[in-house]
Structure 1
Amino acid sequence: MPDTDLLVIGAGPYGYAAAAHARARGIRTRIVGRPMSFWREQMPSDMYLRSGRDWTLDADGVHSFAAYFEERGLDPDEHDPIPISVFLDHTEWFREQKRLDVEQAMVASLTAPDGRFEAAMSDGSTITAERVLAAPGIAHFTHLPEWYDEVPADRRTHTSERVAFDDLSGARVAVIGGRQSAYEWAALLCDHGAARIDVVHRHDTPAFAKVSWAFVNAYVDQTEAERGWWRSLCAARQQEITLEFWRVGRLTLEPWLTPRLAREVVTSRPRTEVVSVEVVDTRAVRLALSDGDRLEVDHVVAACGYRADLAAVPYLAGVLDRVSVTDGFPDLTPGFETSLPGLFVTGFAATRDFGPFYGFTKGCPSAARIAVGEMLR
């Protein structure tokens, strides 16, 4: 008999949601990983979230974000936008309410030698399971420009690595990218005294306005109501929805950033990209831009987002030859199952087959219900 019916690998929002719902449905479940480690260690402690208070982790609708505010005695209007510290406290509260005992040993490798899964753990132990749900965090999928390695290592960071800013006080910084993380990191650099910040991106300068994410609700509901809904759409309709998501979620940024982006410090450079890099001296690099300008900077921050690549998840190496992959994404059934029976994948790596909303915490409860429902079919 295996040690558990379901092994959930990953102790982030998608892992929490799936483990809690599986247990509620009577599935023996173990969850492994470092609790919310990406959020705690690779996001700035003074950042804010774009998510709303109606975004919950609970697939059973009991321990919602709203319930957290009520139990903690917090006024939601005083926490809008939501500080990351409040969100992290909420996830810890959720874990306690659901009695999720996260085992903090990491999975070193996963194999499936006889139809069951064996996870070799970093502490030398082994966990056998009938099924595995992997919720790999986006830290595995950082996307970097082709020229990035030409910048000396001590003068470059990806946003997932740049969580402190005091060392860049007085510095000239180029932020590469033009979405929420790029401009929020620019605001944080302003807060910490950077001398000059150039935000370089290929699209137009985004708008800064309050937006509603309510349009996503209908798409998530449709995904649950109709198995395989997103994949059944024609390419044109997928593109139309993706563009809607892009306009609201990518090209419209939060208005609370505006007063923090000092005009005398921050320059937006839309419709441009870096074409070459020159190391000037031990301190500076010169970036040649596609519009003919040249920027001499002390540091480069890559805010270029993430790109799925299942092969970049180390613990999956032992089963990857049995998992069908397209453009770095696993090919999933309507129940989040891969081509290797019993192996499920949720989170950012599932967005090709389920839509862009499943890369946000908004998709956590829905993904949990769908995947666990598939296991019980």
Structure 2
Amino acid sequence: MRTDLLVVGAGPYAYSAAAYARERGIDTHVVGVPMAFWRDQMPADMYLRSGPDWSLDAAGADSSGDSFAAYFEDAGLDPADVDPIPIGVFLDHTEWFARRKGLRPDQRLVANLGKNGAFVATMDDGSTIAADKVLACPGIAHFTQLPAWHADVPADRRSHTSELVAFDDLADRRVAIIGGRQSAYEWAALLCDHGAAKVDVVHRHATPAFEKVSWTFVDPLVEQTLAERGWWRNLPAARQHEIALQFWQVGRLTLEWWLAPRLRPEVVTSHPETVVLSVAADDADVTLSISDGGELAVDHVVFASGYQADLAAVPYLAGVLDQIAVSDGFPDLSPGFETSLPGLFVTGFASTRDFGPFYGFTKGCPSSARLVVREMLA
């Protein structure tokens, strides 16, 4: 099989770019299990931090307008009735978007990508797909970040948040969560919902605020990225830091207001400005010694320790990795998301060093689609 563009991945960034590429006349083939990370590595009863204004549709008003807001109207849903937005509603929206755009992902997985003139993707069934260009949209599942001491916790008594998506087995159990951002406190709320006996949340910073915030400050930043080629990378370091700090304040230091009522005070204890010093485990307990002088005896440890880009951790890129310039785990990208290997493009979380922190969220999907397709057609 041969195609002009092979899109590896079937998540939001892949859907957005594949739909826009097809609408601009590029023969496009998508491979991957649709929304696999969202379906399999996020809890079914979690909520989005964003609203219906964060769309996947790069064509927007100048085409069919298959936006998230349009989905709400088509589905007969009032956004006010689903605030915050359940993940199930977002997943239903992505299925609707795929149908509207005619996207039918090939659910085979790429085992290896090579280049000999054209790119050749060897699939998990041994077949191959040749392509002139490849857009890789590696999901964050490849990039889980863990503290050095995590291996001191027995494997059957530890999980990263991306691995812990069902909570009934932790009913009546004692759980320590390492981390203090949205995922840490949302997992604490979910553990409360499912009957955990005790939840200790340990983090290095002060306890975050829980209140409504506005993400509208991101809108002009995304528009500027579209208007000025290489905008983020060309910003003075001081301005980048200022924007990153604002993003950190809204997206990390402030957590969603709807979490607070679910954090039962008799269950959840925060340990702010605290780190784990040592771990001991026996048949009964995992005991964490923490820097406030206390000890936590728990049954399970959850690492809400986030993600760190590491392109070498994406298995299917092993065959071309030596041809890709990488800095601190991030691919070095052109203003159109092209790597140093001509014809290979990367969007999503792995692009945030060159495009800004908002490109790790679905907010960046339509603008990245526009930029990457514009580069392909140049």
- The TM-score normalised by the length of structure 1 is 0.98
Matched residue of 1:286: which SS? strand
| Separation in structure 2 between the aligned mates of residue 80 and residue 314 of structure 1, nearest angstrom | 37
Give the equivalent residue in structure 1 for 2:42. 43
- Percentage identity across paired residues of the two chains: 71
Give the equivalent residue in structure 1 for 2:30. 31
| Separation in structure 1 between the aligned mates of residue 251 and residue 189 of structure 2, nearest angstrom | 18
Give the equivalent residue in structure 2 for 1:135. 137
Give the equivalent residue in structure 2 for 1:215. 217
| Separation in structure 2 between the aligned mates of residue 86 and residue 344 of structure 1, nearest angstrom | 30
Deviation at 1:186, TM superposition (A): 0.1
Deviation at 1:283, TM superposition (A): 2.9
Residue 89 in structure 1 maps to residue 88 in structure 2: no
| Separation in structure 2 between the aligned mates of residue 34 and residue 213 of structure 1, nearest angstrom | 30
| Separation in structure 1 between the aligned mates of residue 133 and residue 292 of structure 2, nearest angstrom | 52
Counterparts of 1:35-114 in structure 2, within 5 Å, are 35-61=34-60, 62-114=65-117
| Separation in structure 1 between the aligned mates of residue 186 and residue 51 of structure 2, nearest angstrom | 17
Give the equivalent residue in structure 2 for 1:354. 355
Query: 2:248 aligned to 236, 246, 259, which one?
Result: 246
Deviations 1:81-123 (A, max 9, x none): 0000000000000000000010000000000122x10000012
Give the equivalent residue in structure 1 for 2:4. 5
| Separation in structure 2 between the aligned mates of residue 93 and residue 167 of structure 1, nearest angstrom | 33
| Separation in structure 1 between the aligned mates of residue 125 and residue 99 of structure 2, nearest angstrom | 24
Letter in 2 for 1:9: V
Letter in 2 for 1:142: T
Matched residue of 1:358: which SS? helix
Give the equivalent residue in structure 1 for 2:327. 326
| Separation in structure 2 between the aligned mates of residue 160 and residue 319 of structure 1, nearest angstrom | 27
| Separation in structure 1 between the aligned mates of residue 291 and residue 112 of structure 2, nearest angstrom | 44
| Separation in structure 1 between the aligned mates of residue 224 and residue 78 of structure 2, nearest angstrom | 32
When structure 1 is superposed on structure 2, of 287-296 and 355-364 the one drifting more is: 287-296
Deviations 1:146-194 (A, max 9, x none): 1000000111000000000011111110000000000000000000111
Matched residue of 1:278: which SS? strand
| Separation in structure 1 between the aligned mates of residue 77 and residue 51 of structure 2, nearest angstrom | 15
| Separation in structure 1 between the aligned mates of residue 146 and residue 182 of structure 2, nearest angstrom | 17
- The TM-score normalised by the length of structure 2 is 0.98
Give the equivalent residue in structure 1 for 2:16. 17
| Separation in structure 1 between the aligned mates of residue 135 and residue 160 of structure 2, nearest angstrom | 28
Deviation at 1:76, TM superposition (A): 1.1
Query: 1:126 aligned to 125, 128, 153, which one?
Result: 128
| Separation in structure 2 between the aligned mates of residue 283 and residue 91 of structure 1, nearest angstrom | 44
Give the equivalent residue in structure 1 for 2:178. 176
Matched residue of 1:102: which SS? coil
| Separation in structure 2 between the aligned mates of residue 52 and residue 69 of structure 1, nearest angstrom | 11
| Separation in structure 2 between the aligned mates of residue 50 and residue 15 of structure 1, nearest angstrom | 20
Give the equivalent residue in structure 2 for 1:316. 317
